Chain A
């Protein structure tokens, strides 16, 4: 995919709301980047984070552009490259660091690691490792919203590889038949671990699959939060209006290996260069200045503030204790 200039037409074009939105986009995208950089390139290498680390470098526009559309009563089902959704929902970075380091102040109190975290009180549902397993669960949450007469929606996130799993198809089909308010967000970063899209599916786009379920779909520039925001608004309006699921395919690129231990030697180098030039964070800063939404100094201030918040959050999380082994068997069942 050729580099696209970030100039998607947004419904808020020409209003002060667009400038305000751009500041939120930059803040959450850069916060996600900074937190993940610290986890992947420092804490993991220092041996303070064990196990798997899966980051969304270069893909930050997807959770940010879509997550800022969701209302508090909408329920989010993030995948493993959607960290910004947690911040948008009010999860503090310090609890994310504690989660990665297996401390009691992580969202799972050390029971699970990395992006396997959720908080129902914030409308965040945790993934499991089996890709696309969240899709039927989100379908059920959406069916429940309809059952309860609410006009909220469920937003479920997944990668291109997940669309090969039966759960993805079963979940969308059920939601479609039931006209459940489900918004489906595909992060098509073109690789599932080492497997390129061409070995994952024979159709051109993930969006092509929507026709099989009788639902609308659109393809957006996955590195442009404005484009994703606008598409999500259309999708949410469709779902809230009782018209059923809506699929958005965000075309982007995974700027890392699958995980921190994967050097991604199988990815042609030029792809990293081409997509690196489309970094959503760099382009957002440039656009803010070009459009006159902020000065360079103001965008730099946002980044400096994030670095400071992140330093403090890591220091806090490192002081969080490891779970006591006496907790091992608690919470398997409801305690009476």
Chain B
């Protein structure tokens, strides 16, 4: 029976809570209500109020309290109701959690879960893909699963990790993607990319929901004989440079694709690494596809134009393949 992305995250959390009594959850509306997206549904009934803590609307306190609890040996998993609200807890993440190991060898072993991304008509404050803010902060790990299998395996790795992990769950994937998961206790390592689809002619390096956009585009151009490889980064930091470079050295052409806005996005970093370290192998420019530099708009026509589309990817793939 296939498991959805949202169920996979829930199962991963449930298994970790069953395995380790130090794991507990805190966030807004995660208990009785089961979370805005129902990720934590049923966990209050199973584990009780001690381990599933409904908090005031205080993102900074949620993250701060998670850090303090981790200093005492607990394994907190904090939920931001939307990734957009993470800005209210920004200081605790980038100044407190990210730096305490380096400064005084105190690990903040916390997970901050953040439902991100557009395509649900959420408008400017319920749709952002803001992972680049955190990828730019040394000390944080940034994880963005694209599949149900990875979502479960990575949330389990994140909970077991001794560094602060930001876990970006794409809202549009919660109930859209599903698959059969491996039996039993498995994890997916943080810091390891996955070749989602193998190909010969061109690499698309991407992550999160755009993995599926890239795969759809690859399917379309395959009919024209263009063989596209899709590399799903799965985590931005640590960045799996090796898998990316290996793919690009094989195909000699690279498109970097993300849903976040273009300027200052993580795609710039990926493109720079490819040009610095695989320049000799390239048969064309590294192409970036990203959202335009605007807030995420609400109305369907505007949001559709904002999000990188399969058609856009197909067009760029054809252009680069012919280069």
Contact = CB atoms under 8 A, between A and B. Distances in A.
Decide if A and B are genuine partners. Answer: yes
Interface of A: 75, 107-108, 111-112, 116-120, 125-126, 128-130, 133, 135-145, 147-148, 154, 166-167, 170-171, 173-174, 177-178, 331-334
In order of increasing CB-CB distance, the 8 nearest A-B pairs are: A136-B64, A140-B68, A140-B65, A144-B72, A170-B61, A141-B68, A170-B58, A137-B68
A108 B103 contact: yes
Interface in B275-297: none
A171 B104 contact: no
B158 to A, nearest CB: 13
B102 interface: yes
Given A125-B106, A144-B72, A332 B53 contact: no
Contacts of A139: 61, 64-65, 68
A331 to B, nearest CB: 5
B320 to A, nearest CB: 35
- B53, B56, B62, B96 — which one has the most chain A CB atoms within 10 A of its CB? B96
Given A126-B106, A334-B163, A136 B69 contact: no
Contacts, number: 135
B102 A111 contact: yes
A177 B31 CA distance: 15
B106 A173 contact: no
Interface in B156-202: 162-163
26 contacts: A116-B104, A118-B106, A120-B106, A126-B100, A126-B104, A126-B106, A128-B96, A129-B95, A133-B91, A135-B64, A136-B64, A136-B65, A137-B64, A137-B96, A139-B61, A140-B67, A140-B71, A145-B72, A147-B24, A147-B74, A154-B68, A171-B61, A171-B64, A173-B56, A332-B101, A333-B101
A215 to B, nearest CB: 14
Contacts of A141: 68-69, 71-72
Contacts of B91: 130, 133, 167
Contact of A117 (B102, B104, B163): B104
B66 interface: yes
B103 A333 contact: no
A133 B64 contact: yes
B138 interface: yes
Contacts of B104: 107-108, 111-112, 116-119, 126
Contacts of A143: 53, 65, 68-69
B12 interface: no
A27 B107 CA distance: 33
A135 B58 CA distance: 13
Contacts of A142: 68
Interface of B: 24, 50, 53, 55-56, 58, 60-74, 76, 91-92, 95-96, 99-107, 138-139, 141, 162-163, 238
Nearest to A146: B50
A140 to B, nearest CB: 3
B105 A331 contact: yes
B234 to A, nearest CB: 17
A120 B55 CA distance: 26
- A128, A133, A136, A332 — which one has the most chain B CB atoms within 10 A of its CB? A136
Contact of B101 (A144, A174, A334): A334
Contacts of B102: 111, 331-332
Contacts of B58: 136, 170, 173-174
Contacts of A128: 95-96, 99
Nearest to A119: B104
Nearest to A333: B163
- B99, B105, B141 — which one has the most chain A CB atoms within 10 A of its CB? B105
B95 A177 contact: no
Given A111-B103, A133-B91, A140-B76, A120 B65 contact: no
A43 to B, nearest CB: 21
Nearest to B141: A333
Contacts of B138: 332
A148 B51 CA distance: 11
A148 B106 CA distance: 20
A137 B72 contact: no
A174 B103 contact: no
A327 to B, nearest CB: 11
A136 B63 CA distance: 8
A334 B74 CA distance: 17
Contacts of B66: 140
Contacts of A137: 64-65, 67-68, 71, 92, 96
A140 B27 CA distance: 13
Given A119-B104, A133-B96, A167-B61, 5 more contacts: A120-B71, A140-B70, A141-B72, A174-B61, A331-B101
Nearest to B24: A147
Contacts of A130: 91, 95
A179 to B, nearest CB: 12
Contacts of B65: 136-137, 139-140, 143, 171, 174
Contacts of B72: 75, 140-141, 144-145, 148
A135 to B, nearest CB: 7
A265 B61 CA distance: 36
A154 B67 CA distance: 14
Nearest to A176: B56
B95 to A, nearest CB: 5
A144 B74 contact: yes
B68 A177 contact: no
A250 B268 CA distance: 51
A144 B68 contact: yes
Contacts of B92: 133, 136-137, 167
Nearest to A107: B104
A178 to B, nearest CB: 7
